[in-house]
Structure 1
């Protein structure tokens, strides 16, 4: 099952997507500039083989809901995210607000 919902963070719109898969759930929250995602995100790949795309992204691990993803500290981030002031340990919600 796939669930897509619009949510607002401090008045800014984001799209939350939940994909229920066997034995796991994929979670993302995004806007037109970047996104945060659950542990399935391969930050290393984004920073190496896809570096030319300059992707703004962060990854939180151990989350099972969109709410947890927003509140969890980011475990890793892309080089592009770091360039705009996002850092590991920042909450997903705070990282998203830097992506507006």
Structure 2
């Protein structure tokens, strides 16, 4: 099952996506500039192999719901996210607000 829903954070709209897979759930919250995602995100791949795409993204681990993703500290972020002031340990929703 795939669930898509708009969510609002401090007056800004983001898209929350939940994908139920066998034994795991993929979670993302995004806008047109970047996204945060559950532990399935490979930040090293984005930074190294896809560097030319300049992807703005952060990863939180151990989350199982969109609400947990929004309130969890980011375990890692891309170099492009760091350029926006997003850093490891920042709460997901605070990182999203840096992407507006």
For the aligned pair, the TM-score class normalised by the smaller chain equals over 0.9
Give 1:73 shift.
0.1
Residues 21-68 of structure 1, C-alpha deviation per residue, up to 9 Å, x if partnerless? 000000000000000000000000000010000000000000000000
After TM superposition, what 4+ stretches of structure 1 lie above 4 angstroms from structure 2?
none
Unaligned 5+ residue runs, structure 2? none
The 2-side partners of 1:87 and 1:11 are apart by 22
Tell me what 1:77 maps to: 77
The 2-side partners of 1:2 and 1:54 are apart by 27
Aligned pair count? Answer: 100
The 2-side partners of 1:29 and 1:57 are apart by 10
What TM-score results when the alignment is normalised by the length of structure 1?
1.00
Give 1:82 shift.
0.3
Tell me what 2:56 maps to: 56
Aligned-pair RMSD on alpha carbons?
A: 0.2
What TM-score results when the alignment is normalised by the length of structure 2?
1.00
Residues 63-82 of structure 1, C-alpha deviation per residue, up to 9 Å, x if partnerless? 00000000000000000000
Tell me what 1:67 maps to: 67
Unaligned 5+ residue runs, structure 1? none
